[in-house]
Amino acid sequence: MRGTSVLAGLTAILLISGTAVSQQPPAGGRGGRGGGGRGTPIQPGETCPPGTTEIRPRSCMAPEAPAPSIVDYRPHSTLIAPTHLVKTAKFPAIDFHGHAQGLLSSAEGLASLGASLDSINVRLMVSADNMSGDRLKNTLTAIRASDKMKDRVRVLAGVSFRDVGPGWAAKAIAQLDADVAAGAVGVGEIGKGFGLSTRKPDGSRLSIDDPELDPIWDECARLGLPVFIHTADPEEFFKPIDYTNERWLELSLFPDRRYPQDRFPSFDQLMKERDNLFRKHPRTTFVAAHMGWHASDLGRLGKMLDEMPNLYTEVGAVLYDIGRQPRLAHDFFIKYQDRILFGKDSFQPEEYPYYWRVFETRDDYFDYYRPYHAFWKLYGIDLPDDVLKKVYFGNALRITKALPQQGWPK
């Protein structure tokens, strides 16, 4: 007993002296509570050495315990703040970026899709699966045969970029005309392979603004079809995978999302070609998927929307960027309320409520659904009802005349 209390007393003295040391400015990089000898000085502008963090100006220290890996560190937030979960959208929504994953080809699939859409208040899904020819016709036949779903799914047509060269455009236009006659309401989703990896017959890369393609975009304008296009991927996918890369975890989980610069065009090159395409065809309506991958630079996207009245954008899979800048994003959505469409991309019904919560509430600091996209939290951007209605359905209806136009809220 006696020995224990002597030990406890000694420990208390050591702790007190340790605290006293930590209140002194680090001397020669030494110091910090319990840091005996572990502090490392750095020069102004330098970053801390690996395994250490800046504990006082220009003094770095390593944690005493081995640091957890970023996949294992899951701190529980201690923030207590108002919480408004939004299970169903406040107004019926159109998902302009639908990938229903096989649910469109059978009555059972469509019934299951309908039940899922009801549970989140998505009234209409626009299938962006690049369907064409028989596949498109068979899908439309299944949709039309479903009493419950015949007005709740519409389909975009695909354009094949194989063998682009002399004669390609006439064939592509004939196929598009046939697909529209069969019931397609627009074009898309033109996938990210266009620009990144699609080749011409001579082996050269097919650039997004290749003049051989001009006739198909003009045909889209003539038919009044919106062109839904996904170009490139997040800019971080084109950069070295080091510990400054915001998407390190995603790139490490999914190596096929990396675009090494010795094998792929740069992000900026793809953006340049894409913007050329939009500018070259001012009568064609383009919808840039994923906010054109500029949700992390809304100033850039705003400039594009200012310059190109034929351009619209869609919010699929970039909620992590919208929700981390609630004030800027709020103002952006107000300013460009006529140009933004709701879309989700990957069809996971339980993920839609995160979008509703970001758009409809002013909640602070809440989890995103996919930790490998974003290690940060989200905030609500609190959009007014008239803007929600445009983003959820109004803008999609305006640019896609062949969508069912009746029965939407005023």
Residues in contact with Zn ion by the rule CB under 5 A:
189, 345
Among residues 196, 194, 264, the alpha carbon closest in space to that of 229 is found at: 194
CA angle centred on 222, ends 216 and 226, rounded to 5°: 75
Helix H or strand E encompassing 128: strand 122-131
Instruction: In angstroms, give the least distance from the CB of 158 to Zn ion.
Output: 12
Q: Which is nearer to Zn ion, 230 or 389 (CB)?
A: 230
Q: Which is nearer to Zn ion, 168 or 342 (CB)?
A: 342
Q: Which is nearer to Zn ion, 273 or 345 (CB)?
A: 345
Instruction: In angstroms, give the least distance from the CB of 193 to Zn ion.
Output: 12
Among residues 162, 170, 173, 271, the alpha carbon closest in space to that of 225 is found at: 173
The 8-class DSSP code of residue 49 comes to P
CA angle centred on 8, ends 3 and 10, rounded to 5°: 95
Among residues 143, 316, 290, 156, the alpha carbon closest in space to that of 225 is found at: 156
Instruction: In angstroms, give the least distance from the CB of 96 to Zn ion.
Output: 10
Instruction: In angstroms, give the least distance from the CB of 300 to Zn ion.
Output: 22
Q: What's the CA gap between 97 and 111, in Å, rounded?
A: 19
Q: Is 195 within 8 Å of 274 (Cβ atoms)?
A: yes
Q: Is 186 within 8 Å of 157 (Cβ atoms)?
A: yes
Among residues 115, 133, 138, 135, the alpha carbon closest in space to that of 125 is found at: 115
Half-sphere exposure of 329 (CA within 13 A, CB side): 25
Q: Which residues contact 153 (CB under 8 A, 6 or more apart)?
A: 98, 100, 104, 110, 113, 124, 125, 126, 127, 143
Instruction: In angstroms, give the least distance from the CB of 340 to Zn ion.
Output: 17
Instruction: In angstroms, give the least distance from the CB of 328 to Zn ion.
Output: 25
Q: Which is nearer to Zn ion, 244 or 346 (CB)?
A: 346
CA angle centred on 343, ends 310 and 303, rounded to 5°: 35
Q: Which is nearer to Zn ion, 189 or 273 (CB)?
A: 189
Instruction: In angstroms, give the least distance from the CB of 218 to Zn ion.
Output: 24
Instruction: In angstroms, give the least distance from the CB of 24 to Zn ion.
Output: 57
